[in-house]
Amino acid sequence: MLGLPDATLACLFDLDGVVTQTALVHAAAWKETFDEFLRERANQTGTAFVPFDKVREYDRYVDGKPRLAGTRSFLAARGIELPEGDQDDPPTAHTVNGLSNRKNALVLEMIEKQGVQVYEGSVRYIRRVRAAGLSTAVVSSSANTVQVLDVAGIADLFDARIDGVIAKEQGLAGKPAPDTFLAGAKALGVAPARAVVFEDALAGVEAGRAGHFGLVVGVNRTGQAQALAEHGADIVVSDLEELLGK
């Protein structure tokens, strides 16, 4: 009674926004990073300061994507060109890497201060999935996945991990490309058609659809149920616990 196709052998879970409430932390960190940059840019150019919209622009340009891709996407949407810079750029550098490093530093600071809250319904669902004999993997664009899992105390919920660190090591394209989810299925030894993807980000459900998985479950945390369906979710729920008993 898990709401899954009978042929399902594995479940692939995004982390931020599906299992943990860290999507809110990421949104806050992106807003602080971009607002600081945009305000300084407005002062230098004599133009109006238009703050980062942590709902609309977060969902459209950065949510679910690798950090650098999110930075590039938002800047392009605003018509702003910055040098790429280097991965070791300081957080104060006005480069794509510098802004991305600033955002990451803020996320780590927030996690250290606030800890990590989980979605209890998701944790209960994953435990039921494992009790039913299905394999599980966490598939996240975040390079901080290990830290988040450890702080939240839920590393034991997953048989495999594909995250931003592993994606970089293996040269995997980030969401909305299906590469990381396909790598998750491969790590579990399961064909995509027999695995189910759980995602809250538009880029993530696009990745699930592109990978031809057995089912793509959209998790609607921010009132974007219709958009999740339009981008590739087969079904949309507000919490994974809704699937129990189906």
Catalytic residues: 14, 16
Count Cα atoms within 13 angstroms, Cβ side, for 8. 23
d(Cα 18, Cα 12) in Å, to the nearest integer?
A: 11
Residues 6 or more apart whose Cβ sits within 8 Å of residue 45? none
214, 11 in Cβ contact below 8 A? no
27, 97 in Cβ contact below 8 A? no
d(Cα 56, Cα 178) in Å, to the nearest integer?
A: 23
Q: Is 66 helix (H, G, I), strand (E, B) or coil?
A: coil
d(Cα 94, Cα 128) in Å, to the nearest integer?
A: 46
Look at residues 75, 78, 112, 109 and name the one whose alpha carbon lies nearest to residue 91: 109
d(Cα 205, Cα 185) in Å, to the nearest integer?
A: 15
d(Cα 176, Cα 213) in Å, to the nearest integer?
A: 14
d(Cα 57, Cα 121) in Å, to the nearest integer?
A: 27
